[in-house]
Structure 1
Amino acid sequence: MQFSEQWLRTFVDPQLDSAELGHLLTMAGLEVEEAVPVAPAFSGVVVAHIVEAEKHPNADKLKLCKVDAGTGELLQIVCGAPNAAAGMKVPCARVGAVLPGGFAIKAAKLRGVESFGMLCSARELGLSEDHAGLHVLPEDAAVGTDIRDYLGLDDTLFTIKLTPNRADCLSLVGVAREVAAITGAPLNLAATDAVAPTVDDRRAIVLDAPAACPRYCGRILKGVDARAQTPEWMVRRLARSGIRAISALVDVTNYVMLELGQPLHAFDNAKLHGAIHVRLPQAGEQVLLLNEQSVTPAPDTLLIADETRPLALAGIMGGEHSGITLETQDVFLESAFFAPDAIAGRARSHGFSSDASHRYERGVDFELARSAIERATGLILDICGGAAGPVEEALVRTALPVRAPVRLRPARARRVLGITLSDEAVCRLLERVHLQLAREGEDFMVTPPSWRFDIGIEEDLIEELARLHGYDNIPAVAPQGSLMMLPSSERSRPVWALRHLMAARGYQEVVNFAFVEEAWERDFCANEDPIRLANPIASQLSVMRSSLIPGLAGNLATNRKRQSDRVRVFEVARVFERKADGEPVRGFHQVMNLAALAAGPVVPEQWGERARNVDFYDVKGDLEALFAPHRLEFERLSHPALHPGRAATVRMDGHSIGIVGELHPVWVQRYDLGSAPVVFEVALDAALAARVPAYAEVSRMPAVTRDLALVVGVEVTAARVVEVLKSAAPAIVDEIALFDVYHGKGIDPDKKSLAFRVLMQDTRRTLEEAEVEAAVSALVRQAESQLGARLRGAGD
């Protein structure tokens, strides 16, 4: 909310300068985002009257003016403004004046004619960007008056950032109450006198939806002059609050809204038919709004209507067909209370917002409607003339909000705040903000006023005490306590250790949204029924992710667009899936996963290593390093996100813990990812599991190695061969590792050769050749019997 400091000081005038006032508001919870002067510094500019304006004798575009600037004699000033004319009141910078930017005014000759001053435009004074001509002042402006005093330019514009619960401060009166409560300065709120009706014209009001609108006031004003000029002081206050002056009738309703916080609306009474109804829409009804947008209200959107048609979206915006114009003579003025729940979100559902809806959906004082309509009536009659009819009020008091007393325990308030506040101090502070207190034993029963929608529990009152006492006055006491060293199991490792390991392998951590595009779930996860969000923050982020891989692919796409070819990213985060007994929310299961993506060259471009792109085995190696000393097993996999021939299930201790593979070429092309990236995603619990170290004696005896080249069917995996060999391996066999795969000449097309290195060793003695040969023979026999394998070269 933006407002003028001068306007605020008409209600409360503490002995503080602008900077101190701004700091005080911020510390009271009304954060001051900006405080800027209305106009830049300048001096020596006064109100002047152009007595004569003649053509310059030596220039076609200049005028020679005789100006009364309050000095007792007419000043001769050369002026180039096209609108300069005799009889105008304009700002005049006399000789010796200093304009914004340090520009000093001196006597000068222009085209051979002396000039003693300068007539100013609004831009030359820093008031606006208007440079079309001189800044025209009202005819009643007193000549010689300092322009800063006349226009009230020694003013500051405050912009405060209000939290949604403080709707009571969306008005000058509301802010003034806060300043008075904090500073103790007297609050000067002028009483609003009721305007006595002078005509008997009235219009009936029917509340068809009293729960949404329990109070509605309206009155007819006859014979108003809609073309009347809005007073300069009102235009100025509106402008400094960020509202453009439109016409006198509209300006008055906006002014009262800013002053009191009560939105109002003016209808052209001649365009209304019968009683005013506050009701819900009928099927198919449409409303053409003042912003020229035609809307079909939702069934729960409140309307203002007459006997024939809807007139406005209640509490949001008026309709075009019933709006006032410069030809309006009779006005029906509306002032109402609409329940916040009946207004909240309705304007945004149609793609716009309004000052009225912004206030109503946060809460407007439900006792304010009648005094606000009286205030507006008085201003309209003063400015536009006319005669007022009686105020018609429809009221269902039982449907108005109830201000229930809230229990405050002073002892608990002292404990929570950490300061000593006597009961008398508690009373004094809370009474400053117009809270009514009653004693009940040791406790207080506190009743908030009608304009406070934010006080409902004890914690709200404790917060009031804190800010009224002053956050700066609450001492900062260092916390004290004893810490216990918690046990750390060797069977698990912390998440930060995984992050360090991934960073050591060259990966950079990312944090992505847990909600993603529905197309990502369909493409990468074959998920046709994802978990949909009821209220997504954006239309393209509408479902919860069931995998981290799509988000990493999105990171890669973003980096590709920025010409970054080598990308290594990982994420540790939750994924979401449907599950009847899910935790912590039934029906939904939330699992922590670790996923990574690598794309582009294996190493940055350099002279020491041949350039090549990362492949399946590079990422497989990273994954194995992450899980070491655990041994991982890999089994061919078909997955919608991965290349059908370059993907595998990751297993540990016989259990599936994740996937690894190259991204499917279709998605690489569709999402413009360049060269195919390689990804993996594993369960975080499995990655956190650690193997407890077990002592094993290091052998001092020489090791013996033998190479076995076994010919097996192409469908037999190397992992299966290793499993079979290990099942028959005697105790002296330490390791069996694949080191070569061969297809080609000398091997049947449906066969392949797998070469394994067998390491044998004993910790206490040197192995004899016979037992080495016996061990190798046992391995070969097991392979032959279980897999139908044969030694390469045997029988060739």
Structure 2
Amino acid sequence: MKFSEQWLRELVNPAIDTDTLVAQITMAGLEVDDVVPVAGAFSGVIVGEILSAEPHPNADKLQVCVVSDGHEQIQVVCGAPNARAGLKTSFAKVGAVLPGDFKIKKAKLRQVESFGMLCAEDELGLSQDHGGIMELAADAPVGHCLRDYLGLNDKIIDVDLTPNRGDCLSITGLAREVGVLNKVAVKFVEPAPVESVIKDAFAVVLEARAACPRYVGRVIRRINPQAVTPLWMVEKLRRAGIRSIDPVVDVTNYVLQELGQPMHAFDLAKLSGSILVREAQDGEKLTLLDGQDIELKAGTLLITDEKGPLAMAGIMGGQSSSVTSETRDIFLESAFFAPLAIAGRARSYGLHTDSSHRFERGVDWRLQRKAIERATELLLEIVGGEPGPVTEVKSEENLPEVARIRLRHARVNQLLAFDMPAAEIEEILSRLGLQLSAGDAGVWDVSVPSYRFDIEIEVDLIEELARVYGYNNLPVKTPMAALPIKPIVESRVETRTMRRTLVALGYQEAITYSFIEAGLQKQFDDQYDAIALANPISAEMAVMRTSLWPGLAKALQYNQNRQQDRVRLFESGQRFLPQGGELVQENVIAGVIAGSREPEGWTGKAQKVDFYDLKGHVESLLALGGAAQQYSFASASHVALHPGQSAAILRAGKVVGYMGALHPSLIKALDLDGPVYLFELKLETLANGRLPRFSELSKFPESRRDLALIVDEKTAFDALRTVALKEGGDFLKEVTLFDVYQGQGIEAGRKSLAIGLTWQHPSRTLNDEEINGTIQAVVGALKSGFGATLRE
């Protein structure tokens, strides 16, 4: 928002210079973007009056003017099309200096002498307008210094307000802030109610009561359409970045800048029936004031009459009901529109106006009648007319309520890190316009004024105290807080530990997208129907992943396409599973390996990774929690895995993951260099380990017995191991598989498994009789459970 420093100082005038004022406003949270003079640097320019303007004898586009400076008549050659007798304008006499250090000298134009220059606005640095020389008011004092007459020793301050400070989108709001910061009284504009002269009123009906809970209007008849906007108003508007149009529009714009209340004026003769505030229907059309024809969208808030739309509420008026130079009777509008009803609407039509900018941020919901009275006061002064009574229609239940907040002194001191005196708290909040009443000891009940709609909770009040007190005046302290030490669950394995383990095994961490292509998702998981995105970025990111494998497989493909022949990747993240109409987000860790077992070297022939390389990596993860013996591997089928090289990983009989070789069809579809092996495990299961427990090392020797068992070729060693541990007694430490044999001497469909069983007692040496008895129990259990026989 741009504003004139002179205008601000008319309302509040602290004894500080411009630089201090700017710094003060910025430190209060209202950042100043720019400070520029209202006019260029010039001198020697006065108010001149053109006494006569005759055609130049030697040039069609030039005129020879006789200009009075109040003392003498001076000849000036001018090319402006609006130069005419009787016009008062800006006159740079010989010796004057214009912006850019341009000095005015005596000159001869087409054989006619010229003793000065009649200036356009852009030549004085007032604006970009070069359509003609300046046209000053008829009562402008001839010979008076132009800078003094127009008050050009002023600066325009451009403030960049945060969205929550809509209360400062007016000169009154800014003056209130400056007054608070400097403890200076503010001369607020308080218009007296204007008595109605006529009884004419225009009916108003609120259909969209929630979107427009208050609408205030007034009829003014028989205004003077030939009136002109006074210079002081034109200048204030210009310095706020607003171009003067006509007195009625200028007054509504002036009230907008002065009080912060957007207004609109309708040509009463162009209205029919009554004003109706309602939402638009699809297909309705409106021609805006800027000439743009728009097709309205359903839900857009409108001001209409019996004939149709008149204006987009809170955004822009329509051309059909606009005030023109022929207008004699007007209907003034001042309304409160709920921010949510206006927010985003202007942008949806490619518009942005001063009104929408304010309504989107919030306008004082008690300001509408005051704005009508102020606009009426100004209009009667400028264009005359006969005002009717003020019409106000409102919906009390939809109007905002006055916020009441409980403020604790202890909380203020805690957040600001120092003891702010209670008297200073009361003084600052009172200057801000808040009403305080004492409650319990050290507690205030605070009533927030309607223009501070950004203050809703206790910390908002404390922020105001810090802002007005001065952020640079707050003490610098190291924050202190009670931070209890979070207990470490010893049985829990942290995810970072799993990551470090995989990194130590040669893996690199990958981060892939949570959204994948629907067809790829089906190839990797036929158990779940992935949730489709309503508005996907692309077809390759259409569904939410139910497994990390598709992303890792694509990452492997990317690397192999760039000549990376040994790849080990892992990822920890979420998969998204639809269950019972709900979305379950499950944390998992997954990995993929492909290529050679070891990095390239001279020590041996490169060998490809196999199933048991992956199994060893998975077992390293399972062992982190100290509960490796609780896990088991079972042959299982999976749509993404090779039928003969896939396994489910179980804990307490429940599947917690899968591992195996990637299915040949997927290797072909993705054009991968196989074989490729993958695993995926539930993180929560992995993280839940066994509580560490001290176990003293035995001083006594181990006893080992080896068995060669012939079993069915489909029997897994893990099943034999489980039975052996159960039957081997309390002191059986380890069951190891050290040889597998099929071939000569072993019948078809059978295999030989050589296993080693190791016992150790913590306090004595086990004797042969104890070991032999236990071996017989183990062999008997294996024979009955698996049909195992000892190999001869």
TM-score under structure 2 length normalisation: 0.68
SS of aligned partner of 2:277: strand
Q: CA deviation at 1:180?
A: 1.4
Number of matched residues? Answer: 751
Distance 1:425 1:106, change over 3 A: same
The aligned residue for residue 161 of structure 1 is 162
Choose the corresponding residue for 1:393, options 391, 394, 399: 391
The amino acid that maps onto 2:34 is V
Aligned to 1:692: 692
Map 1:244-393; keep pairs closer than 5 Å: 252-279=251-278, 286=284, 288=286, 290=288, 292-298=293-299, 302-319=301-318, 322=321, 330-340=329-339, 343=342, 355-360=354-359, 362-377=361-376, 385=383, 387=385, 389-393=387-391
Identity of aligned residues (%): 33
Q: Distance between the aligned counterparts of 1:11 and 1:561, measured in 2?
A: 73
The alpha-carbon distance between structure 1 residues 595 and 409, as it changes in their structure 2 partners (threshold 3 A), is same
Look up the equivalent residue of 2:370 and give its one-letter code.
S
Cα 1:67–1:425 change in 2 (3 A) is: farther
Is the CA contact (8 Å cut-off) linking 1:557 and 1:671 kept in structure 2?
A: no
Instruction: State the partner residue of 1:469.
Output: 469
Q: Could you tell which deviates more after superposition, 252-261 or 697-706? A: 697-706
Change beyond 3 A, Cα 1:365–1:241: same
**Which letter does structure 1 place at the counterpart of 2:432?**
V
Please name the residue that 1:452 is paired with. Answer: 452
Contact 1:53–1:86 (8 Å) recurs in 2? no
Counting only pairs closer than 5 Å after superposition, residues 58-69 of structure 1 correspond to structure 2 as none
Match of residue 183 from structure 1: 182
Separation (CA, whole Å) in 1 of partners of 2:258 and 2:770: 102
Paired with 2:42 and 2:460, the residues of 1 have a C-alpha distance of 51
Moved more, 570-579 or 86-95: 86-95
Matches within 5 A, 1:773-792: none
- C-alpha spacing 1:313/1:42, structure 2 compared with 1 (3 Å): closer
How many Å separate the matches in 2 of 1:605 and 1:149?
A: 84
Question: How far is 1:684 from its partner?
Answer: 2.8
User: 8 Å contact 1:741–1:753 — kept in the other structure?
Assistant: no
Q: Which moved more, 1:518-527 or 1:180-189?
A: 518-527
Whose radius of gyration is greater, 1 or 2?
2
Quickly say closer, same or farther: Cα 1:364–1:589, change in 2 above 3 A: same
The amino acid of 2:392's aligned partner reads: A
Check whether the contact 1:206–1:394 (CA below 8 A) recurs between aligned residues. no
CA apart distance, 1:617: 6.8
- Could you tell me which residue of structure 2 aligns to residue 170 of structure 1? 169
Contact 1:278–1:302 (8 Å) recurs in 2: yes
Q: 1:612 to 1:355 in 2, by over 3 A?
A: farther
Question: 135, 140, 146: which is aligned to 1:139?
Answer: 135
Deviation at 1:369?
A: 0.8
- For 1:39 and 1:607, how far apart are their aligned partners in 2? 76
Q: Residue 126 and residue 738 in structure 1: after superposition, are their counterparts in 2 closer, same or farther (change >3 A)?
A: farther
Where 1:628 maps in the other structure, the secondary structure is helix
- Is the contact made by 1:268 and 1:323 (CA closer than 8 Å) also made in structure 2? yes
SS in 2 for 1:161: coil
Letter in 2 for 1:570: E
SS at match of 2:429: helix
2:589 — aligned with what?
595
Instruction: Specify the code of the residue in structure 2 equivalent to 1:627.
Output: L
Q: Please, which runs of 5 or more residues in structure 1 have no aligned partner?
A: 580-586
SS at match of 2:33: strand
CA-based RMSD of the aligned residues comes to: 6.8
CA displacement, residues 17-47 of structure 1 (integer Å, 9 cap, x when unaligned) = 566545544544x352x52244799856886
| TM-score, scaled relative to structure 1 | 0.68
Q: Which residue of 1 aligns with 2:622?
A: 627
Deviation at 1:335, TM superposition (A): 0.5
Evaluate the alpha carbon distance shift between residue 91 and residue 444 of structure 1 in structure 2; reply closer, same or farther with a 3 A threshold. Answer: farther
Distance in 1, Cα, partners of 2:248 & 2:156: 26
Alignment map for 1:60-99 (pairs within 5 Å): none
Separation of aligned partners in 1, 2:659 and 2:66 = 87
Letter in 2 for 1:736: T
Give the Å deviation of 1:253.
3.7
The range that moved more, 777-786 or 205-214, is 777-786
Structure 2 CA distance, aligned partners of 1:623 and 1:49?
92
Paired residue type of 1:387: G
Structure 1 5/508 Cα, relative in aligned 2: closer, same or farther at 3 Å? farther
Instruction: Flag structure 2 segments of 5+ consecutive residues without an equivalent.
Output: none
Query: Relative to structure 2, which stretch is displaced further, 333-342 or 133-142?
Result: 133-142
Distance 1:220 1:477, change over 3 A: same
In structure 2, relative to structure 1, the CA distance for the partners of 1:232 and 1:41 (3 Å cut) is closer
1:317 Cα deviation from its structure 2 partner: 4.8
Question: Is residue 64–residue 78 contact of structure 1 (8 Å, CA) maintained in 2?
Answer: yes
Q: Does the 8 A contact of 1:405 with 1:447 survive in 2?
A: yes
Residue in structure 1 matched with residue 655 of structure 2 by the alignment: 656
Check 1:617–1:333 CA distance in 2 against 1; reply closer, same or farther (3 A cut).
Answer: farther
How far off its partner does 1:273 sit?
A: 1.2
8 Å Cα contact 1:712-1:751 kept in structure 2: no
Q: Residue 161 of structure 2 aligns to a residue in which SS? A: strand
Q: Which amino acid aligns with 1:473?
A: N
Q: What SS does the corresponding residue of 2:184 show, helix, strand or coil?
A: coil
Would you say the 8 A contact 2:286–2:295 is kept in 1?
Answer: yes
**Alpha-carbon distance change, 261 to 486 in structure 1, aligned in 2, over 3 angstroms:** closer
Aligned ranges 1:659-738 → 2 under 5 Å: 659-660=658-659, 678=678, 680-684=680-684, 686-690=686-690, 692=692, 695=695, 697=697, 734-737=734-737
Of the structure 1 ranges 151-160 and 423-432, higher mean CA displacement relative to structure 2 is found in 151-160
CA distance in 1, matches of 2:353, 2:664: 49
Indicate if the aligned counterparts of 2:740 and 2:754 stay in contact, CA closer than 8 A. no
CA contact (8 A) 1:14 1:185 kept: yes
Using the TM superposition, give the Cα deviation of residue 393 of structure 1 relative to its aligned residue in structure 2, in angstroms: 1.5
Shift of 1:466: 3.6
Q: Structure 2 CA distance, aligned partners of 1:489 and 1:769?
A: 43
Superposed displacement of residue 210, structure 1: 4.6
* Deviation per residue, 1:245-296 (Å, 9 max, x gap): 7777656544433432212233343442111123456x76735473644234
Contact 2:147 2:153 in 1 (8 A): no
**Cα pair 1:209 1:279 within 8 Å, conserved:** yes
Residue 371 of structure 1 aligns to a residue in which SS?
helix
Farther off after superposition, 667-676 or 397-406: 667-676
**SS of alignment partner, residue 202 of structure 1:** coil
Report the residue type matching 1:336 in the other structure. Answer: A
